[in-house]
Amino acid sequence: MSREKRRKSKTGIYHIMLRGIDQRHIFIDDDDRTKFLKTLMKAKESGGFSLYAYCLMDNHVHLLIKENEEIGTSIKRITVSYVQWHNNKYGRTGHLFQNRYTSEVVESEAYFLVVLRYIHQNPMKAMSLQTLSQYAWSSYNLYIDAYDSKSVAIETDITRQYFMNKKSFKTYMLQPNNDTCLDFNQKIRYTDKEIIELLKNRYALNEVSHLPKSDRDKIIVDIKKEADVSIRQLSRILGIGRGIIEKAYKKTSS
């Protein structure tokens, strides 16, 4: 069966989502995120596209882009460069991104603003953050910097005709909504090795069994909620009895 042909945007603007293959992590640590952003900006500076927004999540990336060259060419340039670096760093081979990136056209000013907000709200919805500025790996803070007359690396001028000041921009970005632009199930299936790496990088831990009960239970619940991991797998990796894990999870679910 042939793939459905991508719709061509009349404005040249697209909402792009790159996903990890099998919903696995694209980024393990902040060095990975920094490298991806450098790769993204280098591709932008080559003239392939204009960049309006981005958000880097653990297992996927959102971009709001206006193409100057065929958008697929730009995306390939970014992903090939990053995958080569990532595989070399982690001593792995093969694919990192799902082969076919997801895209939707953005052909109206109203929908442009919806997508801009959706991208910036992505970490808040996924991670229960209190403010958008808490998340370092989206373009939200660059928009705030632009209102403070600082030079930024993305095209923020387009928002000035809608939001004359920082306060009105923040108000719109924080509006509750049910937007589901290119949404997908963010749960990830981890191998034992990947969960161990997650513990090391996110929590700076090699084991959790000796932590105070409240800290231990919080980490257990966080990992169980984020990943498609069984209680048996967590018990095996953490060296903690299944009963303890079940109690920790039931306590927060009740």
Query: Which residue type, as a one-letter code, is found at position 231?
Result: I
Do 112 and 48 share a structural domain?
yes
Domain boundary among 173, 204, 231: 173
Locate 75 and state its tokens: 């995306």
Residue 52 confidence (pLDDT): 96
Top pLDDT among 102 and 150 is at: 102
Q: Would you call 151 exposed, middle or buried from its count of C-beta atoms within 10 A (0-12, 13-18, 19+)?
A: exposed
Domain boundary among 124, 144, 173: 173
The answer to whether position 1 is within a domain reads no
The answer to whether position 181 is within a domain reads no
Contact 98, 21 (CB under 8 A): yes
The answer to whether position 161 is within a domain reads yes
3-state secondary structure of 142: helix
Locate 63 and state its tokens: 């971009």
Residue identified by tokens 């060296």 is 239
Q: Mind listing the pLDDT tens digit for each residue in 185-225?
A: 445 456 777 677 767 766 666 666 677 877 778 877 777 66
Distances (CA, A) of 33 to 14, 37, 65, 126, 146: 22, 6, 19, 17, 22
**Which residues span the domain enclosing 223?**
192-253
Domain boundary among 173, 200, 228: 173
Total count of domains within the chain: 2
Query: What's the chain's average pLDDT?
Result: 85
3-state SS string for 46-63: CCCEEEEEEEECCCEEEE
Residue 185 confidence (pLDDT): 47
Domain of residue 31, CATH code? 3.30.70.1290
Residue 227 confidence (pLDDT): 61
Do 213 and 132 share a structural domain?
no
Rounded Cα distance, 149 and 189, in Å: 43
Q: Mind listing the pLDDT tens digit for each residue in 136-191?
A: 999 999 999 888 877 778 999 888 778 888 999 999 999 888 888 875 544 545 67
Locate 22 and state its tokens: 């099998």
Mean pLDDT over residues 125-131, rounded?
80
Percent of the chain with pLDDT over 90: 46
Q: Mind listing the pLDDT tens digit for each residue in 30-45?
A: 999 999 999 999 999 9
Locate 199 and state its tokens: 């513990």
Do 78 and 154 share a structural domain?
yes
Residue 253 confidence (pLDDT): 58
Adjacency order of strands within the sheet including 60-67 = 49-56, 60-67, 13-19, 102-105
pLDDT at 1 over 60: no
Do 245 and 163 share a structural domain?
no
Do 105 and 198 share a structural domain?
no
pLDDT at 85 over 90: yes
Rounded Cα distance, 139 and 68, in Å: 20
